[in-house]
């Protein structure tokens, strides 16, 4: 296909419109339940339904999750974990045009773990999360809220989804052991979730981010004693398109800051 730049810009703008409208994934003509990654027949159904975007022949999702858990458990530091992510071959996004893994940036002893959705083009180019336009806005807001030196930033997936689409629940599920390990290693005092796909994946809920934002939730790992208060908020890429929503994110950041100070 020889898409011209103006065609691509039009497609990207249309995708952004649908995403803002809440349509954050497109798999096939008919709906497919991507939340069922086991038992194996369900995985096969997902693979069949997404054959045009997810390469077949790789490990199935259940095997990939087992492998991700094994690699994540072997990491004793966030630096080890970044290396484990880079070595992990089970995420379908690896074969869909991403040039490198993008794991995290920030203070490895941070009080706050920030989790976005997935890397975009700039992140893929530079190998760091939130370094494009949305990332710059995020940094400005974190700075204004006095949080910039208190965060470690990562994503629900570590490879760029094609066309900057939202990561699928299956892609998030295979990367989740690394996200959980980051949470366990950092043991943050609070977690900030950016955007609907991040909130849905971490909190395992179908509730919309507009409803979730601004409310404290709890994230507790099934194994181990790790838990922390979680604040879902709107994604900075959404704020670039809907600047009037900045005041809601600002309120969420102030609530987070107050919680760290012990005053909220």
Q: Does 90 sit near ligand URA (CB under 6 A)?
A: no
- Calpha distance 243→264 (Å, rounded): 26
Would the CA dihedral through 194, 195, 200, 206 be positive or negative? positive
Work out which of 106, 118, 188, 232 binds ligand URA, going by CB under 6 A. 118
CA distances from 17 to 12, 13, 159, 166, 219 (A): 9, 6, 23, 13, 31
Q: Near ligand URA by CB under 6 A, which window of 26-34, 110-118, 182-190, 251-259? A: 110-118
Do residues 248 and 214 touch, judged by C-beta distance below 8 A? yes
Least distance (Å) between residue 1 CB and ligand URA:
25
Do residues 152 and 113 touch, judged by C-beta distance below 8 A? yes
Nearer to ligand URA, 49 or 115 (CB): 115
Least distance (Å) between residue 237 CB and ligand URA:
6
Nearer to ligand URA, 43 or 195 (CB): 195
Restricting to residues 124-153, name those near ligand URA by CB under 6 A. 129-130, 132, 134-135
Nearer to ligand URA, 25 or 62 (CB): 25
Element (H, E) at 232: strand 227-233
Interaction site with ligand URA (CB under 6 A): 116-120, 123, 129-130, 132, 134-135, 155, 237
């Amino acid at each position: 296909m020889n898409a011209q730049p103006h065609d691509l810009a039009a497609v990207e703008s249309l995708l952004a419109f649908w995403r803002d409208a809440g349509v954050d994934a497109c798999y096939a003509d008919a709906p497919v339940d991507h939340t069922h990654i086991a038992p194996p027949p369900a995985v096969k159904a997902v693979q069949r339904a997404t054959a045009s975007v997810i390469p077949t022949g790789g490990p199935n999702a259940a095997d990939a999750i087992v492998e991700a858990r094994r690699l994540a458990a072997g990491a004793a530091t966030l630096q080890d974990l970044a290396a484990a992510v880079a070595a992990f071959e089970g995420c379908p996004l690896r074969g869909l045009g991403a040039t490198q893994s993008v794991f995290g940036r920030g203070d490895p002893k941070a009080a706050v773990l920030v989790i976005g959705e997935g890397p975009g083009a700039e992140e893929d180019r530079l190998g760091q999360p939130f370094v494009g336009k949305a990332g710059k806005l995020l940094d400005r807001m974190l700075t204004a809220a006095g949080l910039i030196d208190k965060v470690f930033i990562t994503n629900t997936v570590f490879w760029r989804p094609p066309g900057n689409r939202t990561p699928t629940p299956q892609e998030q599920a295979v990367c989740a052991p690394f996200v959980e390990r980051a949470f366990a290693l950092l043991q943050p005092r609070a977690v900030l979730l950016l955007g609907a796909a991040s909130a849905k994946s971490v909190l395992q809920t179908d509730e919309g981010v507009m409803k979730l934002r601004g409310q404290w939730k709890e994230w507790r790992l099934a194994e181990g004693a790790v838990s922390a208060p979680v604040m879902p908020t709107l994604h900075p890429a959404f704020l670039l398109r809907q600047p009037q929503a900045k005041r809601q994110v600002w309120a969420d950041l102030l609530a987070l800051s107050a919680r760290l100070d012990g005053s909220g």
